[in-house]
Each structure stands twice: as C-alpha cells, then as structure tokens.
Amino acid sequence: FSEMLSNPKLVLVQGTLNVVMKQNVTLSCLSEPGSPPVRYTLFKHNQQVSALNRSDLTPALFTLTISSASDVGEYKCKAEHNNSSAGKYSNSLNFTFIEPISKPVLSSPTSQAKKGQNVTLSCFSENGSLPITYLFFKGTQKISPQKTMQKREAAVIFLFMDSLSDFGTYKCKANNSFPNNAKYSNAFNFTLAEERSHSQPLIISLGLILPLLMIGFALAIPFFIIPLYKASE
C-alpha cells in the first residue's frame, strides 16, 4: 500500500505563518491519492507533535496554540499506512513570531532653523518585528511617501524650510505586520531662529570699547593732563 501514497500536502487553514503569542493555528495534512486507512503524524523539527488516523480521504486537521518561542519553527507531516514502515513527508511550513513595535522617537539635530535652511528628521522604533514602515506628518498632513526599513535603523527625511508654514509641529507613525498596532511618535517642533541685525555687532563693540576708553582717560589724567596743565601756568 505504501506505493499508493503520494507525498502529503501540509496546508495552513486557520491563522497565519507570522504569529503572535497565544495564537491558534490549524494545519491540514492530506495524501491524495492515497488509499485509506492512513496515519498522519505532525512533526516539529523532527519531534513528533501529534498523530491522527483517517479511514477515508479526509485530511487530518492539527490545531496548535503558539504559546512560547519553542512552538515556532518548521513543521512537516508524514503519511503512512498502518501496516507499513514506509511513509512519505510533506512540504514544510515555518512559523515565526511577530513582535509589536514600540513607540517611535522623532528627533532632529536642531530644533531651530532659518528660512532657506535644510534640516533632517529621524523616526526610529527600537522594538518590533522587521520590516517597519514609517510615515511622516506635518500636523495631520502626510509630507513624504512611506519608508519601509528592512534593518533596525531610523527612517530619515530632509526638509527645506522655505517659508514660515514649514515651521511648526511634526510627528511620525510606525507600523509593522503586527495587527492593529500602529503607533505615533512624540511631537517635534521647529522654531524660527532669530536673525541678528547688522547693527547688533556694532552696538556690542561700542558697548565694550567705550568703558575701556573712559578707563584709559581716567588713568591718563595724573600722568599727562595734570603735568600739561601745570606747565601752562
């Protein structure tokens, strides 16, 4: 009978391959064609997980609860006749954990800028399964296409502060494959840097020079002005 068995197909019929903690998944294993009865055995990394007998051509359904890191990894199933030591193995399915992202941090090397200046904004979520997608906002308006990061690094955009409307509050949003878990960053505010007028350096210089001149004049009185006055009498 073993020659009549085909390699079974292992299919995910409930849940996803990217799993969260305590998620239920159901796997279907079926050898078609294959004359019943057939014994189906589910393995995880060559360790037996469960076994079911089928007396007809219905698939064996295995329901698992992914409750720890030891539950993720590669699964296969084996189909065999009860009176045979031979069997055939299915394709493999690999489960991986997805981790929710942490609140992203929005930052810039400077919070003050002048009109006509280029600035950068960085958005980074320290925790969460990759890839992570970032989106930047000015107020409630999107200001750039979304950036998907495949590595654990910040998404960076460059801004040109062309007018007063470019100053104000910015935010970013981070998202990954964890369901319903998008998170917004802190608000970051760009303010207009005060530009000094051309007269300010002159005023500051005069403020420093005049006291020095007065001190010098006071010191010169005993040595130059008084002797000159006495000589003229």
Name which of 117, 114, 118, 119 is nearest 196 in CA terms: 114
pLDDT per position as a tens digit, 204-221: 454 566 656 666 656 756
Alpha-carbon span 30 to 80, nearest angstrom: 11
pLDDT per position as a tens digit, 55-69: 988 999 999 999 888
Are 141 and 156 in contact by the 8 Å Cβ rule? The answer is: no
> What does CATH list as the number for 105-192?
2.60.40.10
SS3 at position 161: strand
Quickly tell me which residue has 């003050």 as its tokens: 112
Q: Which two tokens stand for residue 125?
A: 């979520």
Q: How do the pLDDT tens digits run along the chain, 233 residues long?
A: 444 788 999 999 999 998 988 899 999 999 987 678 899 999 999 899 999 999 988 999 999 999 888 899 999 999 998 766 678 999 999 999 899 999 999 999 999 999 999 999 999 999 999 999 999 999 999 999 999 999 999 999 999 999 999 999 999 999 998 988 999 999 999 999 886 654 455 444 545 666 566 666 567 566 655 555 555 55
> What does CATH list as the number for 9-97?
2.60.40.10
Each domain of the chain, given as residue ranges in start order, spans 9-97, 105-192
Quickly tell me which residue has 């409630």 as its tokens: 140
Are 65 and 20 in contact by the 8 Å Cβ rule? The answer is: no
Do 9-97 and 105-192 show the same overall fold?
Answer: yes
